[in-house]
Amino acid sequence: MKLQMILPRERTSKIAAFRDAVWAHYRAAGRHDLPWRKTRNAYHILVSEVMLQQTQVSRVQEKYRAFIVAFPTVQALATAELSDVLKHWQGLGYNRRAKYLRDSARLIVDRCEGDIRRALAEKLPGVGPYTRAAVRIFAYNEPHTTLETNIRAAYIHRFFPDTPIVDDRHILVYAAQAARGQDPREWHWALMDYGAHVKKLHENPTRNSATYVMQSRFEGSLRQIRGKILRLLDDGEFGDLAIARRLAHDERRVREALSALARDGLVIAEKGSWRIA
């Protein structure tokens, strides 16, 4: 996404100082060893970006490596059974992402002959504007400007410290200026690392972002029950009551979770029993 605007001279100097701070932190404490930063493989980068949606980097690292071993190519993922994909996704949460990723792999193979760069021009399940731009930046070093939670934190902390609600379009004015002349791939890595650093030192600046949504509590949530159901169904087929008894959960809540899983295409019911789709 591009946004052209001539900024006042004082803002330009602030952006130069911001750039210097971002690069200095990256040189001193950047997360240079993250496995998805050591590849230009667009499929591997797509996997990492989908995994990193709403999930901490520390949780993704181990799962990413195992997932790539199990499904080393987009063709391997496209032909995989959903149950197998979900098994390797366990522990990351938001299991619909695993299905979206497998479905995207099928579209990439079927419609675009495995060409991910070409496929990014099409609508892919679970691949929104940020993920699409991130793959283009990190796999192909294309000069896009994009925002995610850590990048927002970096800009909000530096340029909007006293603004109660910050819209992305205002951040992008600064982001477009700051990105000029920088290597797209490394600049966005550096921004992410600087933003993560800022969030550790200060109250999360992204709370002031217009896009901010507080994550709901996981313990006892429908998300937790959904995950338990999928792990149980990995062992076989069960009816509503059997699932509720095995998980020691209220049958009404289990049915609610099953209905949500079915809407997402993760489970199906056959002859009174549920199984992985």
> pLDDT by residue (tens digit) across 122-168?
999 999 999 999 999 999 999 999 999 999 999 999 999 999 999 99
Rounded to a whole number of angstroms, the CA Rg of the chain reads 21
Q: Is 235 left (phi over 0), alpha (psi -120 to 50) or beta?
A: alpha
pLDDT tens string 202-251: 888 888 898 877 666 767 788 889 999 999 998 899 999 999 999 988 89
Average pLDDT over residues 14-40: 97
pLDDT at 2: 42
What is the second-level CATH architecture of the domain 35-140? Answer: Orthogonal Bundle (1.10)
Q: What is the three-class DSSP state of 154?
A: helix
Contact (Cβ atoms closer than 8 angstroms) between residue 116 and residue 135: yes
Rounded Cα gap, residues 30 and 22, in angstroms: 10
Question: Domain map of the chain by residue range?
Answer: 9-30+143-208, 35-140, 222-276
pLDDT at 10: 67
Is 49 labeled as catalytic in the residue annotation? yes
Does the pLDDT of residue 80 top 50, yes or no?
yes
Instruction: Supply φ then ψ for residue 124, to 5 degrees.
Output: -115, 140
- pLDDT, averaged across the chain: 92
Fold topology of 222-276: Arc Repressor Mutant, subunit A (1.10.10)
Catalytic residue among 49, 81, 237, 251: 49
Does the pLDDT of residue 33 top 50, yes or no?
yes
Q: What is the pTM of this model?
A: 0.86
Task: Give yes or no on whether 35-140 and 222-276 have one common fold.
Answer: no
Contact (Cβ atoms closer than 8 angstroms) between residue 125 and residue 119: no
Percent of the chain surpassing pLDDT 70? 95
Average pLDDT over residues 90-103: 94
pLDDT at 215: 65
